[in-house]
Amino acid sequence: MNYSLEQKWNINMIQGPFITTFLQLGFIAGALTSAFIGFADKYKPCTIFIVSSILGAFLNALFIFSPLFEIGLALRFFTGVSLAGVYPIAVKLVSLWFDDNKGVSLEKRQMKQKSAPLIPKALE
């Protein structure tokens, strides 16, 4: 957990992991809701991807300025919900774009997704 968040919100080490947990819970809630409603089948995947990406970025930016821990948790939850319109839709888009070697294309996308968080650590 970021030390500046501990100071800003006056939270302890037990409350800190809830920031990540709420993001993951939001992703699960968004993915399940999207699957049950059939969101990706009713609307264009590209539109869902773009709107979800912009919404997720906006909510993430609001998180920085959140005055309270509880508001921060709500923003993290809804960021996770919006990310449910990014990652699964990206898999669908990749599978639609590539007819040949679809498995290789999906594997490359997954590798990029898994290795992206390592870049800042490598630059330290």
Given this model, what pLDDT does residue 30 score?
Answer: 94
Domain-located, residue 15? yes
Largest CA distance in the chain: 53
Domain tally, the chain? 1
Tens-level pLDDT at each residue, the chain (124 residues): 566 777 788 888 888 888 889 999 999 999 999 989 988 788 888 899 899 999 999 999 999 899 889 999 999 999 999 999 988 887 777 777 666 665 665 566 566 655 666 555 555 4
Domain-located, residue 8? yes
Given this model, what pLDDT does residue 22 score?
Answer: 95
Domain-located, residue 124? no
- 10 Å CB burial of residue 51 (0-12, 13-18, 19+) is middle
Domain-located, residue 108? no
Given this model, what pLDDT does residue 90 score?
Answer: 79
Domain-located, residue 113? no
Q: Which residues contact 48 (CB under 8 A, 6 or more apart)?
A: 39, 40, 85, 89
Give the range of the structural domain holding residue 80, as residue numbers without chain letter.
3-88
**What length is written for the chain?**
124
